Amino acid sequence: MSAKATILTDDSLLSRIDQMFFRLESALTLVGGVIILALVFLAVTNVLGRWIFSLPVDGYIDWVEQSMALMAFLGLSFTQRQGGHIRMDILIGQLRGRYLWFVEALSTLVMLILSLLLTYGTYLHFLRAWTIGDTSLDINLPTWPAKLVVPIAMSVLSLRLIAQLWGYVRAFVRNDEEPVAVPLVEDAATVAAREAESVSRDLINREEK
């Protein structure tokens, strides 16, 4: 599965927490998108400056390297919430009811443990860079801000996984058919039909304009 999944909502506490937390995830993803756009302009400026004035952007490589963490990690939790991470669901797609929610809860628990370990490890990496005053090679940019982004993003992802684990455990206990606040597994036909509908809607909107 790699496409956006269906996320159901209701008036429960879990759903309200999910929706509030989704605003934070959306904001972080927006920041990552802005960083990408800024790097596009920086790259154009660097190329044109080198070509026209023989004056490239000073420390261009350093700025790109420091920005990679923001682009790569700020959208992790948003993608997890949307069910956008690529995974093999040939087996999971055949499961239903409590069997499905048990497997989903187990896999979410494993991801949560790994995320917590990575949060701790990347925090130590940031702390080491902060302590020794680590800088980039060209223009001596401090590396700790970019390294701090990683444990922050992993912490947000861990909180999202806790919310999803809550959702799957609740679905298992209640034997829900369609639980809230978790990405629902969809078969290939449903995904294809939804994508076809989205494309058709875009074509109709373009014709109307």
Tens of pLDDT along 101-133?
Answer: 999 999 999 999 999 999 999 999 999 999 999
**Model pLDDT for residues 25-78, shown as the tens digit of each residue:** 999 999 999 999 999 999 999 999 999 989 999 999 999 999 999 999 999 999
pTM (2 d.p.): 0.87
Amino acid at 6: T
SS (H, E, C) 27-73: HHHHHHHHHHHHHHHHHHHHHHHHHHCCCCCCCHHHHHHHHHHHHHH
Mean pLDDT of the chain: 90
Q: What is the pLDDT of residue 83?
A: 87
Tokens describing residue 180: 């809230």
For residue 3, the model assigns a pLDDT of 53
Which pLDDT value is given to residue 68?
A: 93
Please give the average per-residue pLDDT across 159-183, as a whole number.
95
User: Over the stretch 6-30, which tens digit does the pLDDT of each residue have?
Assistant: 898 999 999 999 999 999 999 999 9
CB distance 151 to 126 below 8 Å: yes
* Residues 32 and 74: beta-carbon distance below 8 Å: yes
Assign 162 a pLDDT band (cuts: 50, 70, 90).
Answer: very high
Q: How high is the pLDDT of residue 192? A: 63
Cβ atoms within 10 A of the Cβ of 171, count? 23
Residue 193 has pLDDT above 80, yes or no: no
Residue 172 predicted with pLDDT over 70: yes
- Rounded Cα gap, residues 62 and 53, in angstroms: 21
The pLDDT-based confidence of 87 (bands split at 50, 70, 90) is: confident
The number of CA neighbours under 13 Å toward the Cβ of 101 is: 21
CB 138 within 8 A of CB 61: yes
Q: Taking a C-beta distance cutoff of 8 angstroms, is the pair 82, 160 a contact?
A: no
Mean pLDDT of the region 132-152:
95
Task: From residue 163, give the alpha-carbon distance in Å to each of 13, 28, 112, 171.
Answer: 11, 18, 10, 12
| Mean pLDDT, range 176-187, rounded to an integer | 85
Residue 81 has pLDDT above 80, yes or no: yes
Strand partners, 142: 135
